[in-house]
Chains A and B, each alone.
Chain A
Amino acid sequence: MFLKFLLRRLLYVIPMLFITTLIVFSLILLIPGDPVLAMLGDSATHEKIAELRQQLGLDQPVMLQYFHWLNNAIHGDLGRSIFTGQHVDEALMQTLSVTMQLVVVGMIFSIVGGIFFAVTSIYFPNSWMDYVARFFGTLGTAIPTFLVAMILIIFFSLKLNWLPATGFTSLIDGPGTFLKGIILPGFSLSLAGIAVITRHLRSSLLETMDADYVRTAYSKGVSRYRAIFKHSLQNAMLPVVTTIGLLFGTALGATVVVENIFAIPGMGQLVVNAIEQRDFTMVQGVVLVMIVMVIVINFITDIVYALLDPRIEY
């Protein structure tokens, strides 16, 4: 039953992936500036330009360009960087693992922090914790990520010298150094997420605390603690799961800022450099991978939701 549900969900993913490739491919065509001119400089002759165009396949009809690109992409070949000549898929492989580690840590911070603030706020109503959670839930999203990152660096790296301001070590290369290096960027990435989850879960909890089934639980003699953790929270988490799925996408986008501030060699940094250099094959590759990741996360979100809510029929 569950397997069938998984397969059906997967079937939805395939057309989405196809549309993604179309969008990614055509977006590049819409970006202003001619990559060939960018590569050769303004002084290039007409012959030179035409030659490079032919080399890159840019002289062919757009549809043909697309199918050529798609066919290669399916076989794992996303072309070469028109700037450095490096294979795009290789560059992506190197940076993807870095970015994933950053995003996962950021999301863990967001989820743990959000649940913590929301639950304490509900458990101790009108306490200072409640006010902090409410204030933060409302204003947390308004603080720009780069500002959070700057403040963290100034305070924890420059003033206190507790944590490094730049650099990245992969988890497998050294868990200790990984942790030290990931705390500040992870937290910068998570702040908006913590705020969103706090706000959403808090209002969701407020609703479920008043639900009839929680009153039933009380009528059985359960404590407030049990009423919140065993009866309210699981129900309140349901709508928040969708929010968490969306936050993954936001966090992925925010890595562009965070990786550049903390000098983390991930996809965010890769794409910024690629854009600056008008390295359009590289940009295509990064955007494609990012969108595919968002689709995969949505897929996982759907499955988690189905596991949490027995009312969803497989």
Chain B
Amino acid sequence: MNTETPILEVNHLKAYIPSSKGEIKPVNDISFSIKKGEIVALVGESGSGKSVSSLSIMGLNASAIKYRPESSILFEGQDLLKLKEKELRKIRGNDIAMIFQDPMSSLNPVHPIGRQIAESIILHKKVSYKEAMKLALDLLNKVGIPDAERRLNDYPHQLSGGMRQRAMIAIALACNPKLLIADEPTTALDVTIQSQILNLLRDLQKEFGISILLITHDLGVVAETADRVLVMYCGEIVEEGNVEEIFENPGHPYTKGLMDSIPSLYGPSKDILDAIPGIVPNPLELPQGCHFVTRCAFATENCHEDSPTLKKHTSGNRVACWNPLIKEGVEGR
């Protein structure tokens, strides 16, 4: 399924917010790539920089957020960070599309669903409004909305939560994007509907070969959906690996903590605060050395001074930790 050409390559992405109290670095030097047809999950606690990372790809971060010049986001070889707004607009919704956490607030309350899907098509394709509405109808059928013909003229408030998220996905799929970014697409939905939406995403990926960047803090979602996992903490990627390896053989103490907090059928699950004691540090006062040091049970002296970088281990995972939980040793970068 995975061909080797990456469709997206994020290199040394550094996003910062200058402020009078000092600089906040919501994303501090992260690099990763997404291959064609791959589902990559980006996980981490609230505030770890997941949304800022994904909005960087879309070029939709608040204007307060700046990028260091060495950052680059290559999409099919083009650096998105260097593109002009006008050129970015041609890519947004067309090659890269996005769905958001809360489908109620993410849909325009005063426009019918059909019109919101058709808008995307008209923006990028030379079709009439009528043809666009026909395509919108096909899309609603494709994402599994029953009675699609009637739903076309419905307003968002007339749909259930799950239907709204399906409509959101229909908007995102309107122009057959190559990359779909889903920022917590199931967090606002209840459990049964969550797995329906995840199934839908997986089916779409299989059917159309779309690459998906799936952002979530729910590891259950990750296990169900993703091929590969990126774990973020305080703006940095602390572990990266295939989904099986991450679950079976977590290398970073933070990843391990996240795993322990998953509710399980077999043993007592821990609350996230039991699994990982303490709180996420204030982004203005990040600890020196490893940012996880304030909450880590495995911390040693050098953790307080030197920042660990990602190193590849024999398990295949890349881990940024001086004392990784995988003991087979380092394979080099």
Contact = CB atoms under 8 A, between A and B. Distances in A.
**B and A form one assembly:** yes
Interface of A: 211-213, 215-223, 230-231, 234-235, 238, 308-311
A212 B102 contact: yes
Contacts of A223: 89
A30 B112 CA distance: 54
B91 A309 contact: no
B105 A221 contact: no
12 contacts: A215-B106, A218-B60, A219-B92, A219-B93, A219-B98, A220-B123, A221-B90, A230-B119, A309-B109, A310-B110, A310-B112, A310-B157
Nearest to A220: B93
Nearest to B171: A220
B108 interface: yes
Interface string B132-143: 000000000000
Interface in B6-36: none
Nearest to B124: A221
Interface string B72-114: 0000000000000000011111100110101001111111100
Nearest to A214: B108
A227 B123 CA distance: 12
A310 B155 contact: yes
B157 A215 contact: no
Contacts of B60: 215, 218-219
B120 interface: yes
B177 to A, nearest CB: 10
A258 B157 CA distance: 45
B320 interface: no
Interface bracket on B: 20 to 34
B259 interface: no
A222 B116 CA distance: 12
Contacts of A215: 60, 100, 106
Given A218-B92, A221-B89, A221-B90, 6 more contacts: A213-B107, A216-B171, A221-B124, A231-B111, A308-B110, A309-B110
Nearest to A308: B110
B58 interface: yes
B119 A213 contact: no
Contact of A216 (B108, B110, B155): B108
Contacts of B102: 212
B100 A221 contact: no
B106 A216 contact: yes
A213 B109 contact: yes
A216 B100 CA distance: 8
Contacts of B157: 310-311
B119 A222 contact: yes
B109 A221 contact: no
Nearest to A310: B155
- For B94, B100, B102, B106, the residue with the greatest tally of chain A CB atoms inside 10 Å of its CB is B106
Given A222-B123, A311-B157, A217 B110 contact: no
Nearest to A211: B105
Contacts of A213: 105-109
Given A212-B100, A218-B92, A219-B92, A310 B105 contact: no
A221 B171 CA distance: 12
Contacts of A222: 89, 119, 123
